[in-house]
Homo-oligomer: A and B are copies of this chain.
């Protein structure tokens, strides 16, 4: 008996398909593909390398490649593609896909696969890749065998993928592409084909129902994690100024720092204010919450405690975060766009009254109180935040890890006229992929990039960090190293005598992380006070390659400083009011 002969690809047709697909991505605004090495992906990898206008970086670990693309997409405000071979390679994208889904980042996840005749029959590196990312993509398509369909159909699919990754709400899409052997492409370029234009976008927002609410005097804007561009920051802050509602600005909202802070009532110390009894006496009638759920746990507790008549969640990603189960209205709109529409409809009158002043005055009191604690107390995470704040020049990028660093920023980063692009993965709030996210941000920006991270998050993506030199990128890592997970010291369980908290929760790694700098070919700095940290940062921000700035901190000290800040703010506000 003779077995069936496997169908062979026409390499020219395969390559024409791949080139058309990728040229169409470029035509739709994609400029970068983060590729991981592999054999099955050969036709796509070579096509990507040959596609004009498409930059390509290589990533040894697909998990890191996924997060790199995520950071690059956020920094560049463009969709970014990732590309890998078949098998568990594709499975490693899941964490970045989940984060992109929840934070609304347009990722084009291109996985390559065996052709249909080799699926499900035990061929090497063949797993079920169709719909591999489950409910965590905005759209998914499966191509049986690239090259059987025409280049025109490839372009149409690529066009659809970018449209679905960006409209009406951005997020990840997955295209699984079967490729048949032989995989080696011909040397000749395929003939060019006609490409489809991105359709014009007509995003419309119906602001009518909100206009009436804006007449409320006692209102708050709560800006959660989101990605407004400069115009969005301008319109949101201008709206706040016009209606006399303070903005409680999450560190990852884009509103904490920037020129708008000089004329709009931006509140940096929201977490402190809302934890104090002062906020019980300043119950708003309306809260408009923008973007993702704010980092501040104080906000959620305060909503639970004090409530509000109307809580409007404005979110174009369909999340409408409602962790306190108080949301009364859901508005599907990009916050900056909504603010712009509202501004257009508002009359010329401005409202300035005691309400906004009460919040900004209280914020001044709170922030001067906590900054004194950060600067005068033992040098720990709060002092690191304020030193970074002083050094980070206009336009810099600050990528912040989850767990404690984002909370340290929330508590201790004041407003400032110098803009600072703060990027955190607040979609799913994982500690994974941070170094790669930061490298992606560095690749997508011409300004200096700093990663502020704890030791566990850095270790989680150590392989990603080691790519810094190979990728030719400049990154400063500010590592607050307490040999474990400091956030767990904030949990009630930290005080229990009956639980091995140190082993089960703090989980010390016991490594001398300074060695990472040598392994990565970077420079190690170990400042021991705020002054030396500022000196180090000053030079690191303008130097090339990797600077690892390791500050040894102590989890218990940091708990003490955060709690001292909360108590001091409470006292200061009561004194002010009394």
Q: For the complex, is A292 an interface residue (Cβ under 8 Å from B)?
A: yes
CB nearest to A456 among chain B residues? B60
Give chain A interface residues in 62-109, CB to chain B under 8 Å.
63, 87-89, 91-92, 94-95, 97-99, 101-102
Kindly list the 9 A-B residue pairs having the minimum CB-CB distance in the complex, ordered from nearest.
A122-B321, A88-B430, A515-B519, A3-B326, A187-B498, A123-B323, A88-B95, A91-B94, A122-B319
Q: For the complex, is A466 an interface residue (Cβ under 8 Å from B)?
A: yes
Q: A1-B307, A49-B504 are in contact. List 19 more A-B contacts (CB 8 A).
A: A1-B328, A6-B325, A45-B504, A49-B499, A49-B500, A58-B503, A60-B459, A60-B460, A87-B98, A87-B429, A91-B97, A94-B94, A122-B323, A128-B134, A132-B134, A184-B493, A466-B509, A470-B510, A515-B519
CB proximity of A111 to chain B, nearest CB, Å: 13
Give chain A interface residues in 279-308, CB to chain B under 8 Å.
292-293, 303-304, 307-308
Contact of A325 (CB < 8 Å), options: B3, B49, B322, B519: B3
Whether A321 contacts B94 by the Cβ 8 Å rule is no
CB nearest to A135 among chain B residues? B128
Q: For the complex, is A216 an interface residue (Cβ under 8 Å from B)?
A: no
With A429-B125, A509-B466 in contact, is A3–B304 under 8 Å at CB?
yes
Whether B184 contacts A496 by the Cβ 8 Å rule is yes
Alpha-carbon gap, A503 to B60, bound state (A): 11
Chain B residues positioned under 8 Å from A92 (CB to CB): 63, 94-95, 432
Does more than half of chain A's interface fall in helix, strand or loop, or is it mixed?
Answer: loop
Whether A37 contacts B488 by the Cβ 8 Å rule is yes
Alpha-carbon gap, A127 to B102, bound state (A): 8
Contact of A122 (CB < 8 Å), options: B322, B503, B520: B322
Chain B residues positioned under 8 Å from A469 (CB to CB): 510
Alpha-carbon gap, A512 to B182, bound state (A): 35
CB nearest to A513 among chain B residues? B519
* Copies of this chain, whole number: 2
> Quick one: which of A89, A95, A128, A503 has the most chain B CB within 10 A?
A95
Whether B515 contacts A292 by the Cβ 8 Å rule is no
Contact of A466 (CB < 8 Å), options: B325, B430, B462: B462
Whether A127 contacts B122 by the Cβ 8 Å rule is no
With A122-B323, A519-B512 in contact, is A61–B460 under 8 Å at CB?
yes
19 residue pairs of the A-B complex, CB under 8 angstroms, read A1-B328, A3-B325, A37-B456, A37-B507, A42-B505, A58-B504, A87-B98, A87-B429, A91-B95, A92-B432, A124-B323, A128-B134, A184-B496, A187-B498, A459-B466, A462-B466, A467-B509, A470-B510, A518-B518
Q: For the complex, is A136 an interface residue (Cβ under 8 Å from B)?
A: yes
Chain B residues positioned under 8 Å from A95 (CB to CB): 88, 91-92
CB proximity of A121 to chain B, nearest CB, Å: 4
Report the interface size class on chain A: 35 or more
> Quick one: which of A56, A61, A307 has the most chain B CB within 10 A?
A61
Chain B residues positioned under 8 Å from A88 (CB to CB): 95, 98-99, 428-430, 432
Q: For the complex, is A204 an interface residue (Cβ under 8 Å from B)?
A: no
Whether A519 contacts B516 by the Cβ 8 Å rule is yes
Whether A4 contacts B325 by the Cβ 8 Å rule is yes
Chain B residues positioned under 8 Å from A325 (CB to CB): 3-4, 6, 117, 121
Contact code string A113-135 (vs B, CB < 8 Å = 1, else 0): 00001100111111110011011
Alpha-carbon gap, A325 to B307, bound state (A): 66
Q: For the complex, is A211 an interface residue (Cβ under 8 Å from B)?
A: no
Chain B residues positioned under 8 Å from A506 (CB to CB): 37
Q: For the complex, is A29 an interface residue (Cβ under 8 Å from B)?
A: no
Alpha-carbon gap, A303 to B463, bound state (A): 40
Q: For the complex, is A320 an interface residue (Cβ under 8 Å from B)?
A: yes
Q: For the complex, is A485 an interface residue (Cβ under 8 Å from B)?
A: yes
Alpha-carbon gap, A516 to B58, bound state (A): 22
CB nearest to A132 among chain B residues? B134
Chain B residues positioned under 8 Å from A118 (CB to CB): 323
Contact of A309 (CB < 8 Å), options: B1, B293, B432, B459: B1
Whether B462 contacts A463 by the Cβ 8 Å rule is yes
Contact of A37 (CB < 8 Å), options: B99, B492, B504: B504
